[in-house]
Structure 1
Amino acid sequence: MRELKQERAVRTRAIILKAAAEVFDELGFSGANIREITQRAGITQGAMYFHFGSKEELARAVMKAQPMTVLPHLATRGLQRLIDLTFVWAHRLREDVILRAGVRLTGEQNSFGMHDPTPYQDWAAVMSECLREARAAGELSDNVDIEVLADFVVSACTGMQMYSQISCERADLMDRVVAMWQHLLPALRAPGDVSPLDGSALRAAEVLREIAPQRLGAGQETRTAP
């Protein structure tokens, strides 16, 4: 019985998070309200406050959920995993409302009194782990500072998606990510490394084909909280 309650609580929390992301994505933090979020989630405000104490807490949860919209879809390791991560991120940013809302809230947070760099730092930590694996595998040049590079890629991706959003609602974001790796990858590889690292548009398309079945399964969810 206890396990069943815990399972229901996890499902309810996920439903609230998705509903909140939809509202934040459409209206931003300032335009969003708890009533709209609970109506979309199909729950009472009391149930919402049981899981999240405030709208600010909900916003933080959406911001921190960003990496988990990408990481479960990846099977590669090292430097290829980092490249693939940015490909999946660029694709899912256009179709995953939690990722999209998290990006919006992270960029707008100063406007509602938040100054939390944690979402960026979480991405940098994920990327640093990929780079440490790459170095252990002999893929990464000894001249590369792992922490500096991870922070740079996060910054580059942040800027690219903002530019792409303004230019064409992110329609060219994948092209921008591919261009980044075409310029970066030759400078990052260790001399003599012969691993089949690939940052091309063909690789991006291959990654998206690989994750398609996972996305299909993830989309089969209920809208009513138990």
Structure 2
Amino acid sequence: MQERAVRTREVLLRAAAEVFGEVGYPGASIAKIIDRAGVTTGAAYFHFRSKEGLARAVIREQAADLDFPEGEAGLQRLLDLTLYLAREMRRNTLLRAGVRLAVEQSEAGLQEYSIYQWWAERFEQELEEARERGELLPEADAAVFASTLVAAFTGAQIMSQLASGRADLPGRIANLWRCLLPGLAPADVIDRLEITVDGGADTR
């Protein structure tokens, strides 16, 4: 019984991500999500009492499908992580829908800031490892930079969505790093870093 309930919630979450990703919060409805999920109305309302509840779940669980890079710790891994996210934004339904809802949430009055804080803390962890490895400038503030990186990534993906349907997002994030790195790391550290697009070619 418990396993079936878990599966039903997962199916609903995935269906909600698909619908929210396609039409946004205003265009989505509980009925459309239930139909996409292929579950009963009772089962749906057992797990989520409203469209708002579903939207909050998609926002909070947007990273559930991600397989974070496990390469060299510190700045290289943070670079790899953000470029991985840029690629996943084009093909990961749950991530894409969660990000879209997080950006557009003022339309629904959700005020769900926690996911931005979660990403900032995730980035800050990598920056603190970078500091331990001697990769950061003495004046670099890991918490401030992490929060700024979240904001910059958010803005870059919005611009990329409008310009190219996010096709050029990895390139935009690579360029973002080229602009930000001189204020974060010494030149000899920057020279060792690889900025890759589409998981392959070095674009420097």
Same fold (TM over 0.5): yes
Residue 42 (structure 2) aligns with: 46
Residue 206, structure 1, aligned to residue 190, structure 2: no
TM-score by length of 2: 0.89
Match of residue 70, structure 2, among 59, 68, 75: 75
Conserved 8 A contact 2:20-2:101: yes
**Partner AA of 1:96 in structure 2:** N
Shift of 1:120: 1.2
Match of residue 53, structure 2, among 54, 57, 76: 57
Residue 95 (structure 1) aligns with: 91
Q: Give the distance between the partners of 1:36 and 1:194, measured in 2 at CA.
A: 49
User: Any stretches of 5+ residues in structure 2 without a counterpart?
Assistant: none
Residue 115 (structure 2) aligns with: 119
Offset from partner CA, 1:123-148 (integer Å, 9 cap, x none) = 11111111111111222222110111
Corresponding residue SS for 2:64: helix
Conserved 8 A contact 1:164-1:172: yes
More helix by share: 1
**Partner AA of 2:70 in structure 1:** A
**Partner AA of 1:140 in structure 2:** L
The equivalences for 1:182-193 within 5 A come to 182-190=178-186, 193=189
Conserved 8 A contact 1:182-1:200: no
Conserved 8 A contact 2:56-2:110: no
Shift of 1:190: 4.4
Offset from partner CA, 1:105-158 (integer Å, 9 cap, x none) = 111111112222212111111111111111112222221101110011111111
Conserved 8 A contact 1:142-1:190: no
Match of residue 162, structure 1, among 145, 158, 165: 158
**Partner AA of 2:35 in structure 1:** Q
Conserved 8 A contact 2:136-2:185: yes
Q: Which stretch of the first structure deviates more once superposed, 183-192 or 27-36? A: 183-192
Conserved 8 A contact 1:87-1:177: yes
Residue 221 (structure 1) aligns with: none
Match of residue 24, structure 1, among 14, 20, 24: 20
**Partner AA of 1:20 in structure 2:** A
Conserved 8 A contact 1:93-1:100: yes
Residue 33, structure 1, aligned to residue 35, structure 2: no
Q: Give the distance between the partners of 2:189 and 2:85, measured in 1 at CA.
A: 26
Q: Provide closer, same or farther for how the CA distance between residues 194 and 124 of structure 1 changes in structure 2, counting only shifts above 3 A.
A: closer
Conserved 8 A contact 2:21-2:96: yes
Q: Give the distance between the partners of 2:179 and 2:121, measured in 1 at CA.
A: 22
Conserved 8 A contact 2:83-2:196: no
Q: Provide closer, same or farther for how the CA distance between residues 135 and 195 of structure 1 changes in structure 2, counting only shifts above 3 A.
A: farther
TM-score by length of 1: 0.81
Corresponding residue SS for 2:154: helix
**Partner AA of 1:149 in structure 2:** F
Matched-pair identity in %: 46
Residue 104 (structure 2) aligns with: 108
Q: Give the distance between the partners of 1:59 and 1:9, measured in 2 at CA.
A: 19
Corresponding residue SS for 2:200: helix
User: Any stretches of 5+ residues in structure 1 without a counterpart?
Assistant: 208-226
